[in-house]
Amino acid sequence: MYLDKDIIKEGNPILREKAKEVKIPLNNHDLLCLEQLFQYLIISENDELAKQYNIRPGVGIAAPQVGESLRMFAMSCVDFLDEKQTKYAYAVINPKIVEASTEMTYLPDGEGCLSVVRDTIEYVVPRHYQIKFKAYVYDFFTKKTKFITKTLKGYPAIVFQHEYDHLDGILYVDKMLHKDETSAIPLYTVKNDE
């Protein structure tokens, strides 16, 4: 399993590389990496286990953050449930964002990253409010990889964009601004059209 010591921190050039496409079906090495990324998030969601293993809580983690320059990441937004109580948890491989809304938003308290240890509390990161992506996702229960197209909005869309950026060597600190420098609307005040 990955521990905090395995997480590559800002300043390491691996985080700045454009990650390579993953071969489908996944080989054992890549699958183990993806599995451990997902496991990190699951453990981090449990306060007791997170304390026991001394890991920072996270809602997303990308392969380059553990030194694997591969286009895959895990996300798990358990604290965010939408009106349909969907748990946005995915093990994502070779994602492509194919559509993005012009409407921009940001998390009012800013973003954080397992690879960034400095304090960026005064800054926010403008993100597309809604995105549509195509990707392979791995299901750990059925042990199957399937290709999906999905639309995300609000919080899970922000998490997806943050992780997606990691695959292109981009960190949120590259995009952060002061609130008065952006015309984006803070999340939770964006009108929900459903």
Question: Mind telling me the catalytic residues?
Answer: 163
> Number of residues in contact with Zn ion, rule: CB under 5 A?
1
What SS3 state is found at 105?
strand
- DSSP-derived letter for residue 18 is P
**Angle ∠(103,85,55) on CA atoms, nearest 5:** 85
- DSSP-derived letter for residue 17 is S
Nearer to Zn ion, 22 or 125 (CB): 125
- The candidate with the shortest Cα–Cα distance to 62, out of 141, 146, 172, is 172
**Inter-residue contact 19 to 70 (CB < 8 Å):** yes
Q: Give me 147's structure tokens.
A: 């290709």
Q: Give me 74's structure tokens.
A: 């895990």
Nearer to Zn ion, 169 or 186 (CB): 169
Work out whether 74 is an interface residue with Zn ion (CB under 5 A): no
User: Considering the complex, what minimum distance in angstroms separates the CB of residue 146 from Zn ion?
Assistant: 25
User: Considering the complex, what minimum distance in angstroms separates the CB of residue 140 from Zn ion?
Assistant: 22
User: Considering the complex, what minimum distance in angstroms separates the CB of residue 162 from Zn ion?
Assistant: 6
Nearer to Zn ion, 42 or 173 (CB): 173
Q: What residues from 10 to 69 belong to the interface with Zn ion (CB under 5 A)?
A: none
**Inter-residue contact 131 to 145 (CB < 8 Å):** no
User: Considering the complex, what minimum distance in angstroms separates the CB of residue 43 from Zn ion?
Assistant: 17
Q: What residues from 162 to 181 belong to the interface with Zn ion (CB under 5 A)?
A: none
State which residue has the least CB distance to Zn ion: 113
Work out whether 113 is an interface residue with Zn ion (CB under 5 A): yes
One-letter amino acid identity for 192?
A: N
Nearer to Zn ion, 26 or 114 (CB): 114
Beta bridge partners of 77: 88
- Contact stretch for Zn ion (CB under 5 A) within 24-32, 69-77, 101-109, 113-121: 113-121
- DSSP-derived letter for residue 114 is T
**Which positions lie near Zn ion, rule CB under 5 A?**
113
